[in-house]
């Protein structure tokens, strides 16, 4: 029984020594990959992958001795996995309409957890990673192959402008370094020079731990890969000069971790005199899981126009409709009188010209009340967003001109003067519909709009209470919306683009941190507006405020901004910006150029250099480990004065080198047996060392300086043979 237990213990020790680190590295790498594609259950997927990886290693080990058959078996397994992978990819595309490449590199966040693609990543990609690890660690040690494996997570995370956590990076690199040191001694094609015991494990653990600790202390360098700079790099569009702002999404942008570069997207020249223009990209309908989402069902009762190019829910269109109802004289009880519409606040139009050679979006950045009469190649959807019509856009870059109505003081005064709220407005439109003054489509449009944009899927009693406290003392809906805007500035809220809270909920932002970026402010206002019965939607776009010397607006990626549109009863959608002052920063210098930023850049480059040198040092240290050890041994001899001890050190070093290079134990050999072994097996002469060692240690002889120098010279001449470097070099040359 004891013998059986010893065999089991030895077998487990052998398996652990040989396979544990390669399996651990594969599991860590795949865990990092799983976390970027899976919202939930990445831990379970990692545990299952560990089992899958062990199974593959077991199969690879079983077929390895069969030199003729193993290639065919591996190809057969790979072919089966490839066939299953193709079916999974086809099924994923069939069920979602999203191509795998688009999901894998660009739109996995907005496409969601496509199960078929996740299964492929687990099965197919996991097989690929495991095969590389087995071949380059167990079968044949090659550091390049292992480095290839740890590069995959960085490439994948780069595609979505996401950051791997410092802990994950540190753990992965720690395992990688341990594997570099250990596998060099244990893989099949490497001669075993180290004795794998507790001392060896402790030395490797100490070295790797120290290296990992230094890596964590160093400033983390932040850099952008091509995928990070250009998230649309895999989009199948005519133009190749795309950016991450080129396309619209089903899900809103992340609320935290913005990473703008200050890159100029386009220039906008306006005939107006605004200090700021809000360019809409897109709006979102539903807030759930701390993100805003589109809901295509919202367009059921919407039409994009009513016989012209004006959006049916814009203030310009609603003004015309309300004036038409007022002219009938039937609705004076609702406050619709001729005096209210004496002057047309929408008659004064301005023009905008947008230009860019590199920025080529699928939509047209535009203010809320844009007119598309000049854009024969464009259309507006039910959200009011302006798109290029079909395939009319056959050129790269941006070059459009259009008219729009500014949301200036005149327009806002008119909106504020309307004597309507949603209760009276709903009665008005029902009566007008029954009287034949509104069409069925118009009536249902207003009704559905209110129910859709006051929808709240995730209720918060504390937020609702706060929303009513802010707005209940105001009568007009415009004043209620403006009160929500003013609340943030009046109550000490802070704008901080780089702030990442411990709790990402909106409640934490509102009641605890009071610190965040535009996404938190816009989300909070949109939700609170809905809670008090104001239809509202969350909008992403650009806030243009930077002007060039010629007066044109310069719009950068760092000007990306989130704001709110509130539907005022009888007036339509109106833009509100709840973000507190402070976000309009100067990016013209590529980041400001103050002393702190200069120091930050210096530390960034300095840390990269230190990290690079550190990696080079580690690699050189591993490759030249035996030479470094020999150098330290020879230096240690210089600090010893006793020639007997120095001679004994030379002999002990000979024994140590022989044991390391052969894996045998020579401590039971007599000095003469050792001398014969070196002469016969290594073709070297250490007789001078052996003779002096025997006389000084066994005969009480005190060596002279000349004798010691002769022995030391003999040791130096035989060192490469003792370390077996000649034979190892010959093997490499073969």
Q: What is the pLDDT of residues 257-293, one digit of tens each?
A: 666 777 888 999 988 888 899 999 888 888 987 888 8
Do 564 and 539 touch, CB atoms closer than 8 A?
yes
Residue 150: which of 120, 172, 126 has the closest Cα?
Answer: 172
Shared-domain flag, residues 418 and 522: yes
Q: How far apart are CA 282 and CA 386, in angstroms?
A: 9
* Residue 480, domain member (yes or no): yes
Q: How far apart are CA 59 and CA 71, in angstroms?
A: 12
- Total domains in the fold of the chain: 3
Q: For all residues of the chain together, what is the average pLDDT?
A: 77
Which of 233-247, 321-335, 400-414 shows the lowest mean pLDDT across its residues?
Answer: 233-247
Last residue of a domain, which of 153, 175, 191? 191
Do 649 and 637 touch, CB atoms closer than 8 A?
yes
Q: According to the model, what pLDDT value does residue 515 have?
A: 92
Mean predicted confidence (pLDDT) in 73-82: 89
Neighbours of 75 (CB within 10 A): 11
Q: According to the model, what pLDDT value does residue 102 have?
A: 67
More confident residue, 197 or 725: 725
Give the single-character DSSP code of 366: B
Shared-domain flag, residues 633 and 560: no
pLDDT, one tens digit per residue, over 692-716 is 888 888 777 888 888 888 988 988 8
* Residue 227, domain member (yes or no): no
* Residue 26, domain member (yes or no): yes
Report the sign of the C-alpha dihedral through residues 294, 299, 302, 308, in that order.
Answer: positive
Neighbours of 699 (CB within 10 A): 7
Give the single-character DSSP code of 520: H
Q: According to the model, what pLDDT value does residue 618 have?
A: 56
Q: Residue 428: is its pLDDT beyond 90?
A: yes
Mean predicted confidence (pLDDT) in 175-194: 60
Q: What is the DSSP secondary-structure string of 74-90?
A: HHHHHHHHHHHHHHHHH
Q: How far apart are CA 515 and CA 521, in angstroms?
A: 9
Please state the pTM of the whole predicted model: 0.53
Q: Residue 590: is its pLDDT beyond 90?
A: no
Q: Residue 307: is its pLDDT beyond 50?
A: no
Do 563 and 543 touch, CB atoms closer than 8 A?
yes
- Angle, helix 2-37 to helix 143-159, in steps of 10 degrees: 30
Which of 69-78, 219-228, 346-355 shows the lowest mean pLDDT across its residues?
Answer: 219-228
Shared-domain flag, residues 26 and 168: yes
Q: HSE, CB side, 13 Å, CA atoms: give it for residue 303.
A: 14
Neighbours of 197 (CB within 10 A): 8
- Residue 644 is encoded by which pair of tokens? 């007997």
* Residue 215, domain member (yes or no): no
Shared-domain flag, residues 559 and 670: no
Q: According to the model, what pLDDT value does residue 73 have?
A: 87
Give the single-character DSSP code of 478: H
Residue 399: which of 363, 367, 353 has the closest Cα?
Answer: 353
Q: How far apart are CA 19 and CA 183, in angstroms?
A: 9
Q: Residue 109: is its pLDDT beyond 70?
A: no
Mean predicted confidence (pLDDT) in 444-451: 85
Share of the chain above pLDDT 90, in %: 21
pLDDT, one tens digit per residue, over 646-659 is 888 888 888 888 88
Residue 282: which of 583, 573, 584, 563 has the closest Cα?
Answer: 563
Q: Residue 230: is its pLDDT beyond 50?
A: no
Q: How far apart are CA 456 and CA 524, in angstroms?
A: 12
Mean predicted confidence (pLDDT) in 465-469: 95
Q: How far apart are CA 353 and CA 366, in angstroms?
A: 10
Q: According to the model, what pLDDT value does residue 347 have?
A: 84
**Residue whose tokens read 């683009």:** 497
Query: At a CB cut-off of 8 Å and minimum separation 6, what does 310 contact?
Result: 316, 317, 320, 371
- Domain residue limits at 482: 264-583
Mean predicted confidence (pLDDT) in 604-618: 55
* Residue 564, domain member (yes or no): yes
Shared-domain flag, residues 334 and 472: yes
Query: How wide is the angle at C-alpha 411 spanned by C-alphas 335 and 414, nearest 5°?
Result: 15
* Residue 235, domain member (yes or no): no
Which of 393-402, 517-526, 709-718 shows the lowest mean pLDDT across its residues?
Answer: 393-402
Shared-domain flag, residues 549 and 631: no
Q: How far apart are CA 269 and CA 704, in angstroms?
A: 93
Last residue of a domain, which of 560, 583, 606? 583
Q: According to the model, what pLDDT value does residue 631 have?
A: 83
**Residue whose tokens read 């077996």:** 724
Q: According to the model, what pLDDT value does residue 238 have?
A: 34
Shared-domain flag, residues 269 and 345: yes
- Residue 17 is encoded by which pair of tokens? 């020594």
Most confident of 181-185, 187-191, 233-237: 181-185
pLDDT, one tens digit per residue, over 83-97 is 998 899 888 877 766
* Residue 618, domain member (yes or no): no
Helix (H, G, I), strand (E, B) or coil at 457: coil
Q: How far apart are CA 354 and CA 268, in angstroms?
A: 5
Q: How far apart are CA 470 and CA 485, in angstroms?
A: 10
Ordered alpha helix ranges (H), 187-219: 198-217
Neighbours of 92 (CB within 10 A): 22
Q: According to the model, what pLDDT value does residue 221 have?
A: 43
Q: Which residues are paired to 543 by β-bridges? A: 278
Shared-domain flag, residues 577 and 632: no
β-bridge pairing 572-576 and 560-568: antiparallel
Q: Residue 304: is its pLDDT beyond 70?
A: no
Q: According to the model, what pLDDT value does residue 546 have?
A: 92
Residue 215: which of 180, 170, 172, 178 has the closest Cα?
Answer: 170
Shared-domain flag, residues 573 and 655: no
Q: According to the model, what pLDDT value does residue 113 have?
A: 63
Shared-domain flag, residues 561 and 509: yes
The pairs formed by 437-446 with CB atoms below 8 angstroms and a separation of 24 or more are 437/324, 437/325, 437/328, 437/330, 441/301, 441/303, 442/306, 442/312, 442/321, 444/301, 445/301, 445/302, 445/303, 445/312, 445/313
Q: How far apart are CA 680 and CA 59, in angstroms?
A: 42
Shared-domain flag, residues 641 and 562: no
* Residue 478, domain member (yes or no): yes
Split at pLDDT 50, 70, 90, the class of 374 is: low
Shared-domain flag, residues 564 and 629: no
The four Cα atoms 676, 681, 687, 693 give a dihedral, to 10 degrees, of -80
Q: According to the model, what pLDDT value does residue 262 have?
A: 78
User: How long, in residues, is the chain?
Assistant: 734
Tell me how far apart the terminal alpha carbons of the chain are, to the nearest angstrom.
Answer: 47
Do 577 and 294 touch, CB atoms closer than 8 A?
no
Query: How wide is the angle at C-alpha 510 spanned by C-alphas 507 and 512, nearest 5°?
Result: 85
């Amino acid at each position: 029984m004891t013998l059986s237990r010893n065999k089991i213990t030895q077998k487990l020790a052998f398996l652990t020594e040989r396979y544990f680190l390669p399996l651990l590295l594969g599991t860590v790498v795949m865990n990092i990959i799983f976390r970027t594609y899976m919202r939930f259950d990445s831990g379970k997927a990692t545990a299952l992958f560990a089992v899958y990886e062990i199974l593959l290693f077991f199969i690879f080990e079983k077929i390895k001795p069969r030199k003729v058959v193993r290639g065919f078996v591996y190809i057969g397994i790979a072919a089966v996995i490839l066939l299953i992978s193709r079916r999974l990819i086809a099924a994923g595309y069939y069920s979602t309409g999203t191509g795998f490449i688009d999901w894998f590199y660009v739109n996995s966040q907005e496409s969601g957890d496509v199960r078929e693609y996740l299964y492929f990543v687990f099965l197919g990609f996991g097989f690929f990673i495991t095969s590389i690890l087995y071949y380059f660690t167990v079968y044949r040690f090659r550091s390049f192959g292992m480095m290839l494996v740890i590069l995959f997570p960085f490439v994948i995370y780069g595609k979505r402008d996401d950051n791997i956590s410092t802990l994950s990076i540190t753990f992965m690199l720690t395992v990688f370094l341990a594997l570099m040191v250990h596998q060099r001694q244990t893989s099949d094609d490497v001669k075993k020079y180290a004795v794998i015991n507790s001392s060896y494990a402790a030395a490797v653990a100490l070295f790797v731990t120290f290296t990992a600790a230094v890596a964590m202390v160093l400033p983390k360098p932040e850099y952008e890969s091509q995928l990070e700079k250009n998230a649309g790099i895999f989009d199948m569009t005519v133009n190749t000069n795309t950016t991450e702002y080129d396309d619209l999404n089903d899900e809103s942008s992340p609320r935290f971790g913005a990473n703008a570069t200050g890159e100029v997207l386009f220039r906008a020249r306006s005939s107006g005199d605004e200090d700021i223009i809000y360019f809409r990209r897109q709006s979102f309908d539903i807030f759930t899981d701390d993100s805003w989402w589109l809901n295509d069902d919202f367009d059921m009762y919407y039409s994009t126009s009513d016989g012209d190019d004006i959006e049916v829910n814009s203030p310009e269109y609603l003004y015309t409709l309300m004036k038409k109802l007022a002219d009938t004289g039937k609705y004076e009880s609702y406050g619709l009188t001729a005096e209210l519409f004496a002057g047309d606040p929408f008659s004064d139009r301005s023009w905008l010209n947008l230009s860019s050679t590199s920025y080529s979006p699928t939509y047209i950045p535009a203010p809320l009340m844009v007119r598309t009469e000049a854009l024969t190649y464009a259309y507006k959807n039910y959200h009011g967003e302006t798109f290029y019509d079909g395939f009319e856009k056959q050129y790269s870059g941006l070059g459009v001109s259009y008219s729009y109505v500014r949301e200036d003081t005149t327009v806002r005064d008119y909106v504020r003067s309307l004597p309507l709220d949603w209760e009276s407005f709903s009665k008005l439109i029902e009566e007008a519909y029954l009287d034949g003054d509104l069409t069925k489509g118009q009536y249902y449009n207003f009704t559905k709009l209110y129910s859709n944009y006051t929808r709240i899927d995730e209720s918060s009693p504390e937020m609702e209470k706060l929303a009513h406290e802010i707005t209940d003392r105001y009568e007009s809906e415009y004043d209620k919306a403006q009160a929500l805007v003013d609340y943030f500035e009046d109550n000490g809220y802070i704008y901080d683009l780089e702030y990442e809270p411990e709790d990402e909920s909106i409640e934490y932002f509102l009641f605890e941190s009071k610190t965040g970026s535009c996404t938190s402010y816009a989300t909070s206002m949109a939700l609170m507006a809905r809670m008090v019965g104001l239809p509202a939607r969350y909008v992403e776009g650009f806030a243009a405020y930077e002007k060039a010397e010629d007066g044109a607006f310069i719009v950068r990626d760092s000007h990306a901004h989130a704001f709110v549109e509130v539907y005022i009863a009888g007036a339509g959608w109106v833009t509100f910006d709840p973000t507190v002052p402070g976000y309009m920063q100067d990016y013209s210098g590529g980041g400001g150029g103050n002393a702190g930023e200069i120091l930050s850049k210096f530390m960034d480059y300095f840390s990269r250099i230190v990290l690079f040198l550190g990696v080079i040092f580690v690699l050189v240290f591993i490759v030249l480990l035996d030479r470094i050890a020999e150098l330290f041994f020879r230096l240690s001899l210089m600090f010893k004065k006793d020639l007997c001890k120095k001679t004994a050190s030379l002999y002990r070093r000979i024994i140590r080198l022989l044991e390391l290079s052969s894996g045998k134990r020579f401590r039971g050999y007599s000095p003469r047996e050792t001398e014969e072994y070196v002469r016969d097996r290594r073709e070297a002469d250490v007789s001078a060392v052996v003779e002096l060692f025997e006389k000084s240690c066994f005969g009480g002889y005190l060596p002279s300086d000349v004798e010691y120098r002769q022995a030391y010279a003999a040791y130096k001449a035989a060192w490469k043979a003792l370390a077996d470097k000649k034979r190892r070099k010959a093997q490499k040359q073969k």
